[in-house]
Amino acid sequence: LLFLFLLFLTFKEVYLLAVKSGYSRAPSLQPGVAHKYQYIVEVLMEHASSPTLTGSGFKAEATLKTFVVWRNNSNLEEQLIHLQIDEVKFLNISEREENKNIFKDISADALLGQENVAALRTPLLFHWNLGKVKGIYSPEETNTKIQDFKKGLVYLFQLQLYSGTVTEVDLSGKCRVTYDISTDKVKKIKDLHSCQKPKFGFSSVTKVFDVDWQPTSTSHYSLEKSLIKSVVAEESHLIVLNLKSTTSAKISSRQQLQLLSLEQGPAENSEISLQETLTGLPANYKLLDANATSAKSPCTDCPLLRDYLKILNKELHPADISRASATKLFLKLVQIIRESRKKEILHAFKKAKDPIIPFLIDAITAAQTEASLSALSEYLDFNNEVHELYLEKFLYASAFSSHPSKELLHILMNKMKGSIANPEIRDTAVIVTGALIGKMCKMKLCKSQEVEDAKEFILSGLEEAQDESEMKIYLLALKNALLPETIPLLLQLTQEMSGAVSVVALSALQRFPAKYINAEVKKEISRIFHQNYYEKSVRLAAVEILLSNNPSYMDITNILLAIGEIGTEMSRFLISKIQNILHTDHPSRKVILEVLKDRLLHNYDRFSRTGSSTSFAGLLGVTQDTVTTYSLDLFFSDSGFLRKSTSDFSLFAHGYHLHASQV
């Protein structure tokens, strides 16, 4: 034991000697020395789509003074650093006309305000251990924006001197960071997509409506032994709306740190602990949260809901709802509701004029705060016929919600467990529940209690349905929910139920991505198509699934062989469908072309079928970012009656697909 103890002491001595003689495991500052750095930060925001527009932003130049306040006696690379911004000066970053340049000949005080500049110059301390920032301490301060700015500066000092990928905490959250080391140089790349941080804002479940975010973050350090001589850190964020890429922004920043001089500085403390050092300081230093103070955008100049309602009552006329002015009023209302309490919202329902109430319901369903949903739940009466218009509004708004919450689903479930006077409203509520389940599963909330309850509600509703029309409603809900675990059930219902129900079950199956329609499912569906026993509309629904889920050579051959054997109109419809595919870049086009090389299948007899049934598709609109398509299927009975018509509208944007509507 004694031997081990001596060995330990020797190791410690050797290590301390190594550190003192310049060997470094981590960056550090020299004790007793004040290090003066020049700090330059540039922030620029541009319209990514029109580079000719001048961006906005600023450049700031400052000097920094840093020195060691405390260090660990037995680990010289654990230090408490004092950091203070000295002189600071703001400059324009983009070309400006002389008379529009607010940065020209102006002091920081005049530009930012004395208080902000004072906050900027308040020193802070950071605990630096083996290159990692373990804590940032600041005298009590309420200016969180300035504090975030300074935290960003401190994290420039976070680096390690060995290559590899690690997880690090900084202002961006807990992120994956890759270090690449060469002599006296360190390259640090932060993967901003990997960062875990408190949730802020939301995005749309529907990718077509979502934004695309492309961030980058790279820093270059140059060191001399353990001393940081210079840093250049660049970060950029490109944000683009998928639906309209001209609505986009690029925000970039560049921070630069350059060692200017080393001067005599205050002596450090190493006899006492870090905590004792902190409490011994004259100012009251508090540990700051590592995260950026929530970037929540406050509702700027927002009136109280009560006052805003007066404006709405006066300015919003039902005939104007489709105008841009109404959209602006709506967005503001959503923001105000997000800040309002339940009592205020209930009060608003009392004071709102009749035509404003649906508008208010829409806004609450979009705002989705706990207070607003709870108020809405209390207000809406599912047994009141007068409320029917409102109920419909609420249900549609829920179905179209960009990011439904558990609370929203909870309200809906509660209402459905009670009694609902109008059966149509009840049916709509069931279908909307399915849509909410589908969206929430995409948001990875599929296993939450609320969603599980809702699934159970739909499945038991389907099981207990009294008649076919009720069954169809629950099946439509399942079609919206798109739960892979229900595929066997849908298949079973397709085979056991009458044509009307089977068709709905099949149309639900058709919505699943191809990966869920496996060989076994395909075999069943193929059997349905080829058996006379099933109604024609069911068989056609089956063949559509086959055609759109990677059909094999054999599948196509069998479908083509059936033409002529399956009645005039059905044959005509199938030919129309196949010709349609051949005119587009449908994924099945290639295999169909391959099969059609066979003269036995591709001949006049087979392809000259007459009839009224038809299927066609086309473009409705094309923009730089989107393609909107429509398709219309008309299927007639052999005696000339229209049996079924289906129209679909779809939106494609940057590889994402939205099935917008089906009638």
Ligand X SMILES: *[C@@H]1O[C@H](CO)[C@@H](O)[C@H](O)[C@H]1NC(C)=O
DSSP letter at 284? -
Convert 347-384 to b/e letters by CB count within 10 Å (16 or more is b). Answer: bbbeebeeebbbbbbbbbbbbbbebbbebbbebbebee
Told to check if 654 binds ligand X by CB under 6 A, we report no
Q: Measured from the CB of residue 273, what is the shortest distance to ligand X in angstroms?
A: 4
Q: Would you count residue 422 as binding ligand X (CB under 6 A)?
A: no
Stretch that binds ligand X, among 32-40, 44-52, 67-75, 252-260 (CB under 6 A): 67-75
Q: Does residue 52 interact with ligand X by CB under 6 A?
A: no
Q: By CB under 6 A, tell whether 114 contacts ligand X.
A: no
Our CB check for ligand X shows the closer of 25 and 121 to be 25
The letter for the amino acid at 529 is F
| 92 contributes a contact to ligand X by CB under 6 A | yes
Q: In angstroms, rounded to a whole number, what is the distance separating the alpha carbons of residues 598 and 557?
A: 9
Q: Containing H/E element for 473?
A: helix 468-481
Instruction: Report the site for ligand X in 193-212 (rule: CB under 6 A).
Output: 196-198
Q: Compute the Cα dihedral for 442, 445, 451, 456 and give only its sign.
A: positive
**32 vs 49: CA distance, rounded Å:** 51
Among 30, 72, 236, 550, binds ligand X (CB under 6 A): 72
The stretch near ligand X (CB under 6 A) out of 97-105, 109-117, 201-209, 227-235 is 97-105
Give the residue with the Cβ less far from ligand X, 280 or 484.
280
Give the containing element (helix H, strand E) for 23. none
Q: Which of 291, 293, 422, 557 binds ligand X (CB under 6 A)?
A: 291
Is 98 an interacting residue with respect to ligand X (CB under 6 A)?
A: yes
Number of Cβ within 10 Å of residue 652's Cβ equals 15
**Is residue 101 a contact residue for ligand X (CB under 6 A)?**
yes
Instruction: Pick the closest to residue 232 from 123, 129, 159, 177 (CA basis).
Output: 159
CB contact at 8 A, 247 and 238 = no
CA 380 to chain centre: 30
**Where in 160-179 is the site for ligand X (CB under 6 A)?**
173-174
Q: Which is nearer to ligand X, 142 or 608 (CB)?
A: 142
Among 86, 224, 289, 594, binds ligand X (CB under 6 A): 289
Looking at the Cβ atoms of 49 and 291, the one nearer to ligand X is 291
* 76 or 445: CB nearest ligand X: 76
Comparison of 255 and 502: residue with beta carbon closer to ligand X: 255
* Number of chain residues interacting with ligand X (CB under 6 A): 21
Distance (Å, whole) CA 204 – CA 401: 9
Q: Please tell me the number of Cα atoms within 13 Å of 283 on its side-chain side.
A: 13
Q: Which CB, 81 or 595, lies closer to ligand X? A: 81
Q: Does 416 bind ligand X (CB under 6 A)?
A: no
Near ligand X by CB under 6 A, which window of 68-76, 252-260, 320-328, 518-526? Answer: 68-76
By CB under 6 A, tell whether 579 contacts ligand X.
no
- Give the whole-angstrom CA distance, residue 204 versus residue 230: 41
> Does residue number 105 form part of the binding site for ligand X (CB under 6 A)?
no
Q: How far is the CB of 111 from ligand X (least distance, A)?
A: 14
Task: Say if residues 435 and 478 touch (Cβ distance below 8 Å).
Answer: no
Does 230 help bind ligand X (rule: CB under 6 A)? no
**Residue 602 near ligand X by CB under 6 A:** no
Strands 164-170 and 33-46: unpaired
For ligand X, which stretch binds (CB under 6 A), given 88-96, 350-358, 507-515, 622-630?
A: 88-96
Residues 6+ apart with CB under 8 A from 57: 42, 43, 44, 45, 93, 94
Angle (nearest 5°) at CA 34 between 29 and 38: 90
Which residues between 245 and 274 bind ligand X (CB under 6 A)? 273-274
Place of tokens 């991505």: 513
Binding site for ligand X (CB under 6 A): 72, 74-75, 78, 92-96, 98, 101, 104, 173-174, 196-198, 273-274, 289, 291
